[in-house]
């Protein structure tokens, strides 16, 4: 199991917007140069983030910006905006275990609750980290005069 790169790219995009918005027009081309992906990928993510109320986009000469203060955007918000998790369930359980098998008959009872607890722990940790936390860490790492 692996969470797709959409999540980390979206976080990268949001931090990039904040770091550079005062000095550059924030376009998909600009963001793609930092992420090193095709601008189409960035545009799709920006649309998902916009739909979730995390970014706003001014057409024409405006570019992208965050729609909320960074201390109000958590990693869980970003994850929920860009990851396609069926019914909110991180783990997809195989549909038809063999009920004639003693393991197949009991696997859901043994595993479901544990997987729910694991997902809840991950979501709680993601909820505790804001984009402001990440931006502060990034700014500590940036040296004066740094460029993309």
Domain CATH code at residue 50: 1.10.10.10
- Residues in the chain with pLDDT values less than 50: 1
- Angle among Cα 78, 91, 76 to the nearest 5 degrees reads 15
Three-class secondary structure of residue 133 per DSSP:
helix
Query: What pLDDT was estimated at residue 146?
Result: 57
> How far lies 18's CA from each of 24, 27, 131, in Å?
10, 13, 10
Tokens representing 133 are 């936390």
pTM: 0.84
Query: What pLDDT was estimated at residue 145?
Result: 62
Residue 95 maps to a domain: no
What distance in Å separates the CA atoms of residue 59 and residue 76, rounded to the nearest whole number? 27
Strand pairing partners for 64?
A: 57
Residue 101 maps to a domain: no
Residue 97 maps to a domain: no
Query: What pLDDT was estimated at residue 4?
Result: 78
Is 65 within 8 Å of 50 (Cβ atoms)? no
Full residue range of the structural domain in which residue 74 is found:
5-85+130-141
Domain count, the chain: 1
Q: Write 95-104 long-range contacts (CB < 8 A, 24+).
A: none
DSSP state of 55: E
Residue 121 maps to a domain: no
Residue 111 maps to a domain: no
Q: Is 39 exposed, middle or buried (0-12, 13-18, 19+ CB in 10 A)?
A: middle
What distance in Å separates the CA atoms of residue 30 and residue 11, rounded to the nearest whole number? 15
């Amino acid at each position: 199991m692996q969470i797709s790169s959409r999540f980390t790219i979206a976080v990268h995009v949001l931090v990039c917007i904040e770091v550079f918005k005062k000095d550059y027009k924030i376009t998909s081309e600009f963001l793609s140069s930092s992420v090193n992906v095709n601008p189409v990928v960035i545009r799709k993510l920006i649309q998902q983030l916009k739909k979730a109320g995390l970014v706003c986009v001014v057409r024409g000469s405006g570019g992208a910006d965050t729609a909320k203060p960074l201390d109000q955007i958590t990693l869980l918000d970003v994850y929920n905006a860009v990851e396609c998790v069926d019914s909110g369930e991180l783990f997809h359980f195989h549909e038809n275990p063999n009920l004639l098998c003693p393991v197949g008959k009991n696997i859901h009872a043994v595993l479901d609750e544990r997987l729910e607890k694991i997902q809840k722990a991950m979501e709680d940790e993601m909820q505790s980290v804001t984009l402001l936390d990440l931006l502060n860490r990034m700014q500590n790492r940036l040296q004066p005069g740094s460029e993309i």
